[in-house]
Amino acid sequence: MERFFKENKALKTAVFVVGAVALCFSPMALVFVVNYIIKLQTVRVSLPWVHTLAMMNSLLNPLIYCWRQEELRKYLFTFRIQAVYPAN
């Protein structure tokens, strides 16, 4: 039973990560497809918000893992306390 819950949690985390990738890169893919259909040539994406969303994936992945793994949260919060009170 414990193994089932552990694997189920890993599956949910993987779904969140893949969903974040799909969410972040789908606007870029949509722009590529639309530009290719309209111009029928090689496409360059120059929209700043598309690049921002693609880069947002690099921020979301660590946040998702921190949110889903209690051990990682505990480990990271020990560094926050040390940074605030360096004398300890």
For residue range 14-67, what is the model confidence (pLDDT) as tens digits? 899 999 999 888 888 888 788 778 776 555 656 788 888 888 888 888 888 888
Total-model pTM = 0.63
- What is the domain count for the chain? 1
Q: How far is CA 68 from CA 33, 58, 59, in A?
A: 34, 16, 15
d(CA 23, CA 37): 22
pLDDT band for position 80 (50/70/90)? low
> Which of 65, 62, 66, 64 minimizes the C-alpha distance to 77?
66
Instruction: Please give the residue range of the domain that contains residue 56.
Output: 2-84
Distance of CA 83 to the CA centre of its chain: 26
DSSP for residue 41: S
pLDDT band for position 85 (50/70/90)? low
Geometric angle at alpha carbon 71, from 69 and 75, rounded to 5° = 120
